[in-house]
Amino acid sequence: MSASKSKETIAGLTKNARTVLEKRYLKRDKDGKVLETPADMFRRVADTIASADKNFDKKAVTGALADQFYQMMTGFEFLPNSPTLMNAGRELGQLSACFVLPVGDSMEEIFESVKHTALIHKSGGGTGFSFSRLRPANDVVMSTKGISSGPLSFMKVFDVATETIKQGGTRRGANMGILRVDHPDIMDFIMCKADQNQLNNFNISVGLTEAFMEAVDEDREYDIINPRNGEPCGSMNARKVFNRIVKQAWENGEPGIIFLDRLNKDNPTPAVGEIESTNPCGEQPLLPYESCNLGSINLGKMVKNGKVDWERLKEVIRLSVHFLDNVIDVNNYPLQQIADMTRSNRKIGLGVMGWADMLILLGIPYCSEEAIDLGEKVMKFINDEGHAYSRELAKTRGTFPNFKGSIFDRPGKGETRNATVTTIAPTGTISIIANASSGVEPLFAVSFVRQVMDNNKLIEINPIFDDIARKRGFYSDELMEKIAEHGTVHDLPEVPEDIQRVFVTAHDISPEYHIRMQAAFQKYTDNAVSKTVNFSNSATYEDVEQVYRLAYELECKGVTIYRDGSRDLQVLSTGKKEEKETAAPAVEEKHAVKRERPKALRGSTYQMQTGCGPLYVTINEDRNGLFELFTTMGKAGGCAASQCEAIGRMVSLAWRSGVQARQVVKQLLGISCHCPSGFGDNKVLSCADAVAKAIQARMHENGGMAELHAPSHEKGACPECGGAVEHEGGCAVCRACGYSECA
């Protein structure tokens, strides 16, 4: 493409969307200069994907189809997954987001998968694994007469490899790790992320079986199976294991659960293999070496004159299936095995975004029977029409190669082009581009605060609410700020009751309705549904257990939950309540007087490697404990050195005024900057993080505190802009700048 940019404009492209596109999607030259406009990008994608029609008719004129694809995308009626937008028509050409790799029970197979993981992450994809084939820790290894180190040790190898690829400056890779509930190491797996400093490049889920769930209901033992020989090697009480899963999920949101037998019940190609794992967000079950390309219809655009526009929805479904089927043929796969498996099954995953927007435009509360019924109706329509068009494509293009022996190769089924058609994926970044609500999630907030440079704050307002408030005359800047502080429009007398009724947010909705909505869409979805069940901070273990059981009863294929504030250092910007919950406790009155400095103090100096160079942190103590902190940068002067000096002065003042070391560490640990250093346990996110780690080291030497852990920073504040993140499907997304944990 030439360096000249198109003068076409796209109506409805918001400032946030433009920022996200320029930062993450648009083509650049080697110096980082943007070479295309958003219109250029959509034209590039439309032309590339439409060109696949020539594979089936060399005389095909694809210009009209490309125009249809272009209009559908620039009208924000449909968008494909991010790799397609980024890479279609460019040198990399890798268009899929989802991959699953096998992990076999030998060193050769394990490290072959590590290599393949690196290649996929380098290409911009995420990976899912089942570690269930690996023999347990301390099991016999016949070839060496030694003992196995078990699945968890090898998960750490994959985690470090992922971290190393990230350090190389590519898009971050996300992983899903799954272990069957009948594996001997299951209890260690359930607890493996209790230390939030471990396996930060993994989402984890326990693969539950029907036999296990029956044993839970009956409060009895179930068999533990050694994967080395497939034989029982003991038993455990199912309810105790289930309770541990619930408790750990309550603690920090992980592990999630996947119902493995249900995935395989709907496996369209059982003759090809068994489904063992999913992609990183859990919505796409895949066979080993399989990939899937995803796309989402914006339901908010499918409302006309206060009613669902079924006619346009049908047109968009057909175009979207055509688009996604073409992606399979123009895709440049990172591995030949993946190319072969993907083209043999031709799975596509058409989903939705803007569901909350559709409900609001129709005047239907998210937490209502009417919304549940409409969710089923809409998804049944998408699934039925999607499969109908896939059958039409099969007449001219042929069935997917693995059709024989598939669930479609049965009387009354008929030929079809794609083994699966529908998936409900999280749509974090593409929903920002479309200015739509994400996936089938409710609104995260009606209005929220976004911090910008120089500590200024901007109030971000849901565009539908903004429009209604202005038209009905109750808009005011003061009200919008009040909503941002309150976190919801409920119980605000300035907001009419009918508006309060439909503008519900994630925390206004009971966990039971979250699960019921997931189940409504799952009923007519080929693959699975990505959905986060939100709990308030005060939720109990029993609340989480109830949702897990309800998900099982309602035929969901998996569950991800998130209890507000359950990860340390969470930063939210949707209400004063959260600020109170995360504030440091008040200093006791007896410590209010600042301690005077004696003439001599003893201390230690710690060398911390930061992205700005070595930082030397000196910590001195008096007889009452930590007293003062000094910092010296390896390179004197500059912004980093001055900021570190400021941190040292403030920490010293805090200690001398009675603030506990633990509270200082909590405030500094996990703060990230643009230039981190190291990886794994030795990773230093910023100079502030380095100071916190030095204080921790000193306290450990004194035996004075248990170690605090900063969670993966994406789970609280956005590491790039500091804004609030939304939790969806095991992923975290910042709607302010477009950062995505699973990008």
* Candidate list 283, 290, 441, 741, residue with the active-site label: 283
Q: How far apart are CA 150 and CA 136, in angstroms?
A: 5
**C-alpha–C-alpha distance, residues 506 and 446, integer Å:** 10
Rounded Cα gap, residues 553 and 262, in angstroms: 12
* 607 contacts 597 by C-beta, under 8 angstroms: no
Best CA proximity match to 657, nearest among 703, 696, 625, 617: 625
To which residue do tokens 């340390």 refer? 568
- Gap between the Cα atoms of 638 and 16, Å rounded: 32
Pick the catalytic residue from 203, 252, 279, 293.
279
Q: How many angstroms separate the CA atoms of 414 and 427, rounded? A: 32
Provide the sign of the torsion angle of the four alpha carbons 708, 712, 713, 717, taken in this order. Answer: negative
Q: Which of 544, 623, 593 is nearest to 256 (CA)?
A: 544
The full length of the chain comes to 743
Query: Which residues on neighbouring strands pair with residue 295, listed in sequence order?
Result: 80, 350
CA 145 – CA 148 distance, rounded (Å): 10
Q: Which residues, in sequence order, are CB contacts of 143 under 8 Å at separation 6+?
A: none
Q: Quick one: which of 151, 148, 146 has its CA closest to 129?
A: 151
Whole-number Å distance between alpha carbons of 32 and 109: 39
> DSSP readout, 104-133?
-SSHHHHHHHHHHHHHHHHTT-EEEEE-TT
Select from 296, 291, 286 the least CA-distant residue to 317.
296
Burial class of residue 216, CB neighbours in 10 A (0-12, 13-18, 19+) = buried
Helix or strand (DSSP H, E) at 141: strand 140-141
Alpha helices in 1-129 (DSSP H): 15-24, 38-50, 63-74, 82-87, 107-122
Residues near 27 by beta carbon (within 8 Å), at least 6 away in sequence? 1, 34, 35, 36, 40, 41, 44, 90
Q: What Rg do the C-alpha atoms of the chain give, in angstroms?
A: 27
Choose, from 175, 252, 254, 281, the residue flagged as catalytic. Answer: 281
CA distance 58 to 80: 25
Q: Are 284 and 294 in contact (CB under 8 A)?
A: yes
Q: What is the widest separation between alpha-carbon atoms in the chain? A: 92
In the 3-class helix/strand/coil scheme, how is 423-489 assigned residue by residue? CECCCHHHHHHCCCCCCCCCECCCEEEEECHHHCEEEEECHHHHHHHHHHCCCCHHHHHHHHHHCCC
Q: What does the alpha-carbon distance between residue 86 and residue 434 come to, in Å, rounded to a whole number?
A: 15
Residue linked to tokens 């197979």:
109
Dihedral sign computed on CA atoms, order 489, 495, 496, 497: positive
- Give the whole-angstrom CA distance, residue 662 versus residue 681: 20
Structure token digits, residue 77: 């009626």
Query: Tokens 């090697």 appear where?
Result: 233
In the residue annotation, 283 being an active-site residue is answered as yes
Phi-psi region of 306 (alpha: psi -120 to 50; beta: other; left: phi over 0): left
Q: Residue 347 — φ and ψ, nearest 5°?
A: -75, 135
* Residues forming the active site: 279, 281, 283
